[in-house]
């Protein structure tokens, strides 16, 4: 549950605060206890936010010490406070108070054991893991200069040379083998903390944060995946055939998984960077936003202004001046920073920021629109009490900005001057849908499997001796993606993905892909759109903005089913809206694949 507590620990990665100071002689009522918890959370938020921000934007020995100690203090506070909350179990409480106590219990992604030495060790291990990723570099043996992640990502995105991509792919994965032992120890410590809170393991605790039982939630994610899997399977079949044509069947067999380094993304999670190899109708309605950004020399701040203007068109207030003064828009040249994009709602949402190393690309522009969704959500629920300052569930927080990205239709891009001329032919629609599917549909199985791997690690079904082999088994099972060279347990390829050493749950991104299309459908209906869903942009609709904001304001104060119903009229997540949106592309893909052997 991405509430205020989890937001500090997940997005900021460091928390601190005073110890609980409940009166010894008098036992507080549950309402009094929750009031005190909210007061302490508010007080600790400013300091913990500052420490977390400095750690992310100044990665060095000193900030590692500050972050670890801050995290240790929060872990001690959380352990003590949760222990105190257990005295209210079995009491008849108001729904709001009971929900606050439940969210408090779930208010960390890495529960620390109730032991000072182990709390300290857990804080140090998690800080080290995050720092190892942020400072990671590939230093080739042939004397070439060391390369950071951005350099390697750029190669994989733009190069169409098999071996050059392979070098970048394997090079980035040299940063993670040293994480293996630390990650194993992290799992042991966090699992111990989770069991002390009454959960079987950390994965069960994570799955408990969705207003249903952990088992029900696992069943729910499987149901949603099965709804959208047919669309992914058709996309995979076509992409594999095109890559085989380009690289040769000896490198990309037409009846097996796709080599992981050939789809334009370091983790094979999105495939839109190889659109040039897959464009269905070359030259038709070329949405080359990147060229516009380069030609007009958009600064990082101007790209962010473009995203802000979309939200403002719906009636949201502009971002505060402090956002522009305190955000990190570009990579500093004088120090290591986390370039992984993130949005920060510090001081209870009064201090909004983003942290990025923005490049002049259409992909980066979409990331900015997404990140601002977090910021506008954080500001919308800032008047909730701290324990309710979060998304209705983790997928909501990720889906807000993604919904706006879906509304960046060709007509919208032309209206704001990011492309010239819009062609609305059937061929143009297929081209646009292909680009979006390569980014969104291709992402679905990866978004599901990352946490499925961790659930197995936390439960013990995946042992340390099988970390890497289990990772690649899941990659092949869900994505139809395979490692391009032999991998062994000397490697730790999961650690090459930020969210593993950073300990950020990934299921939120899977759920967001489902929810964003439901949100789009509801907002388009509110805006009065008539016609296919893929043609809708609610840009400029104050009515849509009003309804959107009404949902955002509730934060985590009620079950997500209630919040979802406010906007969509249904209490169930449903992958049907995705299938509806991509109906034109699905028909086209089936035609292309009619004489191919699909599956892997």
DSSP 199-256: -SSHHHHHHTSSSS-HHHHHHHHHHHHHHHHHHHHHHHHHHHHHHHHHH-TTTS-TTS
The two beta strands, 258-259 and 342-346, are unpaired
d(CA 596, CA 594) in angstroms, rounded, equals 6
Report helix, strand or coil for 259.
Answer: strand
d(CA 312, CA 540) in angstroms, rounded, equals 8
Q: What is the dihedral of CA 75, 81, 82, 83, to 10 degrees?
A: 110
DSSP 11: I
Please give the positions annotated as active site: 340-341, 370-371, 374, 398, 499, 509
Report helix, strand or coil for 345.
Answer: strand
Alpha-carbon distances of 14 from 131, 173, 343, rounded to whole Å: 12, 26, 15
Give the other-Cβ count within 10 Å of 128's Cβ.
Answer: 18
Do residues 293 and 358 lie in contact, with contact meaning Cβ atoms separated by under 8 Å?
Answer: no
d(CA 494, CA 131) in angstroms, rounded, equals 16
The closest of 443, 575, 457, 513 to 188, measured between CA atoms, is: 457
β partners of residue 138: 147
Q: Which two tokens stand for residue 502?
A: 């950073």
Within 13 A of 397's CA, how many CA atoms are on the CB side? 29
Tokens 């699909």 locate to 598
Do residues 439 and 272 lie in contact, with contact meaning Cβ atoms separated by under 8 Å?
Answer: yes
d(CA 405, CA 382) in angstroms, rounded, equals 24
Q: What is the dihedral of CA 586, 591, 596, 598, to 10 degrees?
A: 20
Q: Which two tokens stand for residue 293?
A: 């950004």
d(CA 76, CA 116) in angstroms, rounded, equals 8
β partners of residue 345: 352
């Amino acid at each position: 549950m991405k509430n205020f507590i989890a937001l500090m620990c997940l997005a900021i990665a460091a928390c601190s605060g005073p110890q609980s100071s409940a009166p010894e002689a008098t036992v507080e009522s549950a309402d009094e206890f929750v009031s005190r918890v909210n007061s302490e959370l508010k007080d600790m938020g400013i300091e913990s936010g500052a420490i977390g921000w400095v750690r992310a934007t100044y990665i060095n020995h000193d900030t590692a010490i500050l972050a670890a100690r801050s995290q240790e203090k929060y872990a001690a506070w959380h352990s003590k406070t949760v222990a105190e909350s257990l005295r209210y179990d079995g009491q008849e409480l108001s729904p709001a108070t009971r929900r606050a106590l439940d969210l408090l219990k779930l208010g960390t992604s890495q529960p620390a054991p109730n032991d000072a030495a182990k709390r300290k060790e857990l804080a140090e291990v998690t800080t080290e893991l995050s720092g190892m990723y942020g400072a990671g570099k590939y230093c080739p043996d042939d004397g070439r200069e060391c390369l950071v992640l951005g350099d390697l990502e750029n190669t994989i995105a733009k190069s169409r040379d098999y071996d050059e991509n392979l070098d970048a792919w394997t090079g980035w994965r040299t940063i993670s083998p040293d994480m293996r032992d630390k990650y194993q120890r992290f799992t042991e410590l966090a699992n111990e903390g989770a069991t002390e809170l009454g959960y079987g393991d950390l994965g069960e605790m994570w799955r408990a944060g969705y207003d249903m039982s952990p088992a029900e939630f696992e069943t729910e994610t499987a149901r949603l995946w099965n709804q959208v899997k047919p669309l992914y399977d058709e996309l995979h079949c076509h992409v594999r055939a095109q890559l085989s044509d380009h690289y040769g069947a000896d490198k990309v067999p037409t009846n097996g998984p796709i080599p992981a380094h050939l789809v334009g993304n370091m983790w094979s999670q999105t495939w839109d960077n190889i659109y040039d190899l897959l464009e269905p109708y070359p030259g038709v309605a070329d949405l080359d936003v990147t060229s516009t950004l380069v030609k007009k020399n958009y600064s990082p701040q101007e790209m962010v202004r473009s995203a802000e203007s979309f939200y403002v068109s719906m009636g949201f207030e502009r971002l505060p001046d402090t956002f522009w003064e305190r955000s990190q828009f570009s990579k500093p040249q004088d120090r290591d920073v986390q370039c992984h994009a993130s949005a920060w709602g510090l001081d209870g949402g009064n201090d909004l920021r983003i942290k990025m190393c923005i490049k002049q690309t259409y992909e980066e522009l979409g990331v900015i629109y997404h990140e601002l969704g977090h910021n506008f959500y954080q500001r919308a629920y800032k008047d909730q009490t701290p324990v309710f300052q979060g998304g209705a569930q983790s997928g909501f927080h990720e889906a807000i900005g993604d919904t706006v990205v879906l509304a960046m239709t060709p007509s919208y891009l032309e209206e704001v001057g990011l492309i010239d001329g819009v062609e609305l032919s059937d061929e143009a629609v297929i081209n646009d849908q292909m680009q979006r599917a390569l980014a969104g549909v291709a992402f679905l199985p990866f978004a599901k499997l990352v946490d499925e791997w961790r659930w197995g690690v936390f439960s013990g079904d995946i042992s340390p001796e099988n970390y890497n082999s289990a990772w690649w088994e899941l990659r092949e099972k869900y994505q139809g993606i395979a490692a391009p060279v032999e991998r062994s347990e000397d490697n730790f390829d999961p650690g090459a993905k930020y969210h593993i050493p950073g300990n950020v749950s990934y299921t939120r991104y899977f759920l967001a892909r489902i929810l964003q299309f439901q949100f789009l459908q509801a907002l388009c209906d509110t805006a009065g759109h008539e016609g296919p869903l893929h043609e809708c942009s609610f840009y400029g609709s104050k009515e849509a903005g009003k309804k959107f904001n009404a949902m955002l304001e509730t934060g985590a104060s009620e079950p997500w089913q209630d919040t979802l119903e406010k906007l969509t009229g249904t209490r169930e997540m449903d992958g049907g809206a995705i299938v509806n949106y991509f109906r034109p592309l699905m028909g086209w893909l089936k035609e292309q694949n009619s004489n191919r052997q699909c599956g892997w």
